[in-house]
Chains A and B, each alone.
Chain A
Amino acid sequence: TQLLEQSPQFLSIQEGENLTVYCNSSSVFSSLQWYRQEPGEGPVLLVTVVTGGEVKKLKRLTFQFGDARKDSSLHITAAQPGDTGLYLCAGERTDKLIFGTGTRLQVFP
């Protein structure tokens, strides 16, 4: 069992739909990060959330950090084909940067 569990594992939707990806843990994190990875590339940072209850927006993407700092969510409004990719949450524990299990998103035109 990995420390950070993401759900769903796969998501296949039509352009224009909304979606939410969840990142859950039984442990408290000082902050959580969200990355996106495209095929053949390494992950790239989207956002870092630091304060419990914090909400950050990046265009059509909304990130929230749980009040207890054990979970986070990523909401995409009006998904576009360009949003297709693997979304990963990550948190630091005693110097270790731990990644979640990943959510693979496919957005069809």
Chain B
Amino acid sequence: DAGITQSPRHKVTETGTPVTLRCHQTENHRYMYWYRQDPGHGLRLIHYSYGVKDTDKGEVSDGYSVSRSKTEDFLLTLESATSSQTSVYFCATNRGGNTEAFFGQGTRLTVV
């Protein structure tokens, strides 16, 4: 199994607070992705990274920022959490070039 670990697995936070989710991989994959999953929308891409310190926006990037200071770690930050950001967040990695993507177990975030 690919070694992709997300933390925390569950979090409840208050509106207006900053939140950081962490994704750690042991596969040395170049690409890392953050998605959110909501009913009826499948997986929507928030941000992705194609190398250390190289990141770009996805489909639903407003209100989110990311950082990748090491190959193995990709952080997703909600700068000021809102109730609309209540969701399940998945991290994924791959080698790029249409190769298989491997996913973490997901983080369930609730903003109250």
User: What residues make up the interface of A, taking CB atoms closer than 8 Å to B?
Assistant: 2-4, 6, 9, 30-31, 33, 35, 40-45, 48, 50, 88, 90, 92, 95-102
A100 lies within 8 A of B98 (CB): no
Picked from A2, A41, A88, A92, the residue with its CB within 8 Å of the CB of B59 is A2
User: What residues make up the interface of B, taking CB atoms closer than 8 Å to A?
Assistant: 4, 31, 33, 35, 40-45, 48, 50, 56, 58-59, 90, 92, 94, 96-98, 100-106
- B45: chain A residues at CB < 8 Å are 96-99
- A99: chain B residues at CB < 8 Å are 35, 42-45
- A33: chain B residues at CB < 8 Å are 98, 100-101
* A-B CB contact pairs (8 Å), 20 listed: A2-B42, A2-B59, A9-B40, A31-B98, A33-B98, A33-B101, A40-B105, A40-B106, A41-B105, A42-B90, A42-B104, A43-B90, A44-B103, A48-B98, A90-B101, A92-B97, A96-B45, A97-B33, A97-B94, A102-B42
